[in-house]
Structure 1
Amino acid sequence: MELQDYWRTVRRRWRLVLGSVLVVIAIAAVWTWTTTPLYSSSTRLFVSTSQTDENSAYTGNLFATQRVASYADLVTSNQLAERVAGELEDADPTTVRGQVTASAVPETVLLEITATDANPERARDIAQAYAEQLQVLVEELETPNGKSTAVIKATLIDDAEVPTSPVSPQPLRNLALGGVLGLLLGVGLAVTRELLDTSVKGADDIAAITSAPVLGNIFSDTDAKRAPHEVLFTATPWAEAFRVLRTNMQYVDVDHDQKILVVTSSLPGEGKSTTAVNLAVTLTQAGQKVALVECDLRRPLIADRLELDGSIGTTSVLIGKVSADDVMQPYADTTLDVMVCGQIPPNPSELLQSQAMEALLDDLRSRYDVVVLDAPPLLPVTDAALLATRADGAVVVVSHGHTTRDQLSTAIERLDSVGATTLGLVVNQTPARKSASGYGYGYGYAPLEETPQSGGGKRRRR
Structure 2
Amino acid sequence: MEETISLQELFKVIKKRLALIICTFVLAVTIAGIISYFFLTPIYQASTQILINQKESDQNQFNSQDIDTNLQLINTYNVIIKSPVILSKVIDNLNLNMTPDLLNKKITVNSEQNSQVINVSVEDTESQKAVDIANMTADVFQEEIQSLMNVDNVIVLSPAINVNDMSPVKPNPILNMAIGAVIGLMLGFGLTFLLEYLDTTVKTEQDIEELLELPILGLISPISYKKIKKPKESISPNRKRGSKHV
TM-score, length-normalised on structure 2?
A: 0.76
Q: Deviations over 1:188-233 (max 9, x none)?
A: 22233333333335554322123252866xxxxxxxxxxxxxxxxx
* Alignment match of 1:17 (pick from 2, 14, 21): 21
Task: Look up the match of 2:143.
Answer: 136
Task: Look up the match of 2:184.
Answer: 182
Change (3 A) 1:83 1:214: farther
Task: Look up the match of 1:427.
Answer: none
Q: Distance in 2 between matches of 1:14 and 1:53?
A: 75
Task: Tell me if structure 2 keeps the 8 A contact 1:49–1:57.
Answer: no
User: How far has the Cα of 1:105 moved from its partner?
Assistant: 2.0
Task: Tell me if structure 2 keeps the 8 A contact 1:138–1:153.
Answer: no
Change (3 A) 1:160 1:205: same
The amino acid across from 2:32 in the alignment is: A
Task: Look up the match of 2:242.
Answer: none
What RMSD over aligned residues (CA atoms) do the two structures have, in Å? 2.7
* Alignment match of 2:33 (pick from 29, 32, 54): 29
Q: Distance in 2 between matches of 1:31 and 1:204?
A: 47
Q: Deviations over 1:415-435 (max 9, x none)?
A: xxxxxxxxxxxxxxxxxxxxx
User: How far has the Cα of 1:71 moved from its partner?
Assistant: 2.1
User: How far has the Cα of 1:162 moved from its partner?
Assistant: 0.9
Q: Distance in 2 between matches of 1:188 and 1:19?
A: 13
Task: Look up the match of 1:106.
Answer: 113
Task: Look up the match of 1:443.
Answer: none
Q: Distance in 1 between matches of 2:154 and 2:200?
A: 70
Q: Does 1:85 align with 2:87?
A: no
Task: Look up the match of 1:172.
Answer: 174
Task: Tell me if structure 2 keeps the 8 A contact 1:41–1:123.
Answer: yes
Q: Distance in 1 between matches of 2:51 and 2:203?
A: 70
Task: Tell me if structure 2 keeps the 8 A contact 1:203–1:214.
Answer: no
**Structure 2 gap ranges (5+):** 231-246
Q: Percent identity?
A: 22
SS in 1 for 2:52: strand
Q: Deviations over 1:214-269 (max 9, x none)?
A: 866xxxxxxxxxxxxxxxxxxxxxxxxxxxx54xxxxxxxxxxxxxxxxxxxxxxx
* Alignment match of 1:40 (pick from 18, 40, 45): 45
Task: Tell me if structure 2 keeps the 8 A contact 1:25–1:175.
Answer: yes
SS in 1 for 2:63: helix
Task: Look up the match of 1:121.
Answer: 128
Change (3 A) 1:30 1:141: same
Task: Look up the match of 2:160.
Answer: 160
The amino acid across from 2:29 in the alignment is: I
Task: Tell me if structure 2 keeps the 8 A contact 1:49–1:61.
Answer: no
Q: Distance in 2 between matches of 1:32 and 1:200?
A: 45
Q: Distance in 1 between matches of 2:33 and 2:162?
A: 27
Q: Deviations over 1:316-360 (max 9, x none)?
A: xxxxxxxxxxxxxxx348xxxxxxxxxxxxxxxxxxxxxxxxxxx
Question: Any residues of structure 2 matched to 1:340-351 within 5 Å, and which?
Answer: none
* Alignment match of 1:59 (pick from 65, 70, 73): 65
SS in 2 for 1:69: helix
Q: Distance in 2 between matches of 1:199 and 1:136?
A: 79
* Alignment match of 2:210 (pick from 208, 211, 233): 208
User: How far has the Cα of 1:157 moved from its partner?
Assistant: 0.5
The amino acid across from 1:20 in the alignment is: T
Q: Deviations over 1:16-49 (max 9, x none)?
A: 2112112211211221122222211111111222
More helix by proportion, 1 or 2? Answer: 2
**Structure 1 gap ranges (5+):** 144-149, 217-244, 247-274, 282-305, 308-330, 334-462
The amino acid across from 2:42 in the alignment is: P
SS in 1 for 2:59: coil
User: How far has the Cα of 1:170 moved from its partner?
Assistant: 2.2
TM-score, length-normalised on structure 1?
A: 0.43
Q: Distance in 2 between matches of 1:57 and 1:125?
A: 37
Task: Look up the match of 1:410.
Answer: none
More strand by proportion, 1 or 2? Answer: 1
User: How far has the Cα of 1:171 moved from its partner?
Assistant: 2.3
